[in-house]
Amino acid sequence: MNSFAVKIDKLVKTFAGSEVIKGSAMTVKANTIYGFLGANGAGKTTVFKILSGLLVPTSGKVEIFGMDITKNRELVLKNIGTLIEVPVFYEHLSATENLKFHLAYMNVEGFGVSEVLEMVGLTQTGDQPVSKFSLGMRQRLAIARSFIHKPKLLILDEPVNGLDPLGIQEMRVLFKNLSKNYGMTILISSHILSELEHIVDSIGVIVNGVVVEEALLEEVKTKSPKGLEEYFFKIMSGGKVCV
């Protein structure tokens, strides 16, 4: 088994002749949780969309579990679950119906629908259409849909948006459970750095389209005793991150 879930080398993505991702490299070990940090517009979502097959790299190499995503797109995507940007559902259908539809589309068995609804705290929704859901309920359903098919790699872009503090804590427990007990590799971004610090094994920081830092969480804590926020802001301010 490949020890890396994600390997990116010399990745470039251009839009209308302008480089958004500028020769970046990045590695994510299998069966770990990797926090991807960056300011708005730094390129996080673009990288996530490339890994999810939603965008094609302009140049460079992107491997997921040892497979080149541009050459093995269909096989790779079977092993990926995503939550990127605002989730879209069949608004007239219930949570159960939306999840059943997703499993049918993916053509896999995955988790049981009732089991997943319990895991994300949506067991009481019944036949209620998604159009009646609150923002927090919609986010929980989006998280459920991202992993119901038991992907090997889970890509989550700001997954706790719209959740209250209790919901954030519940998702923290869920993500750690998916990694530890189901062997999923999780690549996650969040503006709540203190929350990431509770769950990640390692981090990467992207600045203006370039991944400028990668480190284990233990290394971050050694270099910045006050934690991930201090580490991140030192990088963003151009300061040295040193012991």
User: What are the per-10-residue average pLDDT scores of the chain (243 residues)?
Assistant: 88 95 96 96 95 96 95 91 94 97 91 96 94 96 98 96 94 97 97 93 96 95 91 81 43
Q: Any bridge partners for residue 219, and if so which?
A: none
Between CA 122 and CA 137 the distance in angstroms is 7
Residue 13 is predicted with a pLDDT of 97
Residue 243 is predicted with a pLDDT of 36
The single residue listed with the structure tokens 């259409």 is 129
| CB 149 within 8 Å of CB 81 | yes
Between CA 72 and CA 124 the distance in angstroms is 40
In the chain, where the domains are located = 1-79+151-216, 92-145
The single residue listed with the structure tokens 């989006």 is 142
Which amino acid is residue 218, in one-letter code? Answer: E
Element of type H or E holding 59: strand 59-64
How many Å is the Cα radius of gyration of the chain? 18
3-state secondary structure 71-99: CCHHHHHHCEEEECCCCCCCCCCEHHHHH
Cβ-based burial of 142 (10 A; exposed 0-12, middle 13-18, buried ≥19): buried
Between CA 233 and CA 243 the distance in angstroms is 15
Within the chain, where are the H helices? Answer: 44-51, 73-78, 95-106, 113-119, 135-147, 165-182, 193-199, 217-223, 228-236
Residue 242 is predicted with a pLDDT of 43
Residue 239 is predicted with a pLDDT of 53
Between CA 99 and CA 89 the distance in angstroms is 10
CATH number given to 1-79+151-216: 3.40.50.300
The single residue listed with the structure tokens 């998916």 is 178
pTM strictly above 0.75: yes
| CB 28 within 8 Å of CB 35 | no
Residue 109 is predicted with a pLDDT of 86
